[in-house]
Amino acid sequence: MEGLKNRVEWLMSMIVVVTLMSHAAESRQPVLHRVGGGRFTWDSNINFTDWSRNEHFYVGDWLYFGFDKHIYNVLEVNQTSYENCIDKDYIYNVTRGGRDVINLTEAKTYYFLSGRGYCYKGMKVAVCVQQIPPEQLQLNLRFQIIFIMPPTMSSFLL
Ligand SMILES: *[C@@H]1O[C@H](CO)[C@@H](O)[C@H](O)[C@H]1NC(C)=O
Ligand SMILES: *[C@@H]1O[C@H](CO)[C@@H](O)[C@H](O)[C@H]1NC(C)=O
Ligand SMILES: *[C@@H]1O[C@H](CO)[C@@H](O)[C@H](O)[C@H]1NC(C)=O
Ligand SMILES: *[C@@H]1O[C@H](CO)[C@@H](O)[C@H](O)[C@H]1NC(C)=O
């Protein structure tokens, strides 16, 4: 009797965990990514390749650039311009007051650099933005329930 009670309790707690996971996945809030990792880190001594490698960017997220606008700027450019540090004919000028944000509205790789020669000192960043796949999250969730629940219970719930 005691063993059965424990098993039921364990099952119930697993169901709660799965439910919480599904909520976390579905209601993912947009993330504000501080470029370089801090409040004022669009700067020439930061390795942005290292920074972006540890971030995950999804459509709807935001990038924040904190910098001294008298020294640096932020320009969105294409891949060719990014690779060659060309700041002419950019796509979009992100620069406003030096605490500037941009909405990542598309699933694509965005390229940013600082003009005025600082791109050559490493002030450029490529950000690969991904679509959140909702169907895939649903599938994962169903598999988890099937694994956790005994057959009778899972056929009742699904
Ligand atoms: C920016 O992204 C949010 C989601 O984070 C979206 O709801 C909003 O419509 C976007 N705004 C603009 C101006 O594109
Ligand atoms: C990238 O932008 C530069 C500058 O505007 C332009 O000359 C070049 O043709 C563009 N390259 C591509 C592949 O769009
Ligand atoms: C970008 O915009 C800022 C603010 O409007 C402006 O001061 C700056 O000259 C612009 N930079 C370029 C390269 O167009
Ligand atoms: C950033 O660090 C990586 C190694 O983690 C290195 O390969 C790369 O050259 C560095 N980039 C710059 C601009 O220093």
Tokens coding 133: 């796949």
Nearest CA to ligand 1 atom 8: 60
Do 124 and 139 lie in one domain? The reply is no
If pLDDT is split at 50, 70 and 90, which confidence band does 61 have? very high
pLDDT of residue 73: 98
Q: Which of 103, 104, 132 to mutate to test the pocket of ligand 1 (most atoms within 8 A of CB)?
A: 103
Tokens coding 109: 């790789």
Ligand 2 neighbour 84 (Cβ under 6 A): no
Over the stretch 80-112, which tens digit does the pLDDT of each residue have?
999 999 999 999 999 999 999 999 999 999 999
pLDDT of residue 145: 53
Do 51 and 100 lie in one domain? The reply is yes
CB 130 within 8 A of CB 52: no
Query: Quick one: which ligand is closest to 82's CA?
Result: 2
Do 119 and 148 lie in one domain? The reply is no
Number of domains into which the chain is organized: 2
Structural domain boundaries enclosing 94: 32-131
Q: How many CB atoms lie within 10 A of CB 74?
A: 25
pLDDT of residue 106: 97
Judge whether residue 42 has pLDDT over 80: yes
If pLDDT is split at 50, 70 and 90, which confidence band does 14 have? low
Judge whether residue 120 has pLDDT over 60: yes
CA distance 62 to 139: 28
Do 116 and 44 lie in one domain? The reply is yes
If pLDDT is split at 50, 70 and 90, which confidence band does 11 have? low
Buried/exposed 27-66: b ≥16 CB within 10 Å, e otherwise: eeeeeebbbbeeeebbbeebebeebbeeeebeeebebbbb
Query: Quick one: which ligand is closest to 86's CA?
Result: 2
Judge whether residue 62 has pLDDT over 80: yes
Do 68 and 118 lie in one domain? The reply is yes
Helix (H) / strand (E) containing 50:
helix 48-53
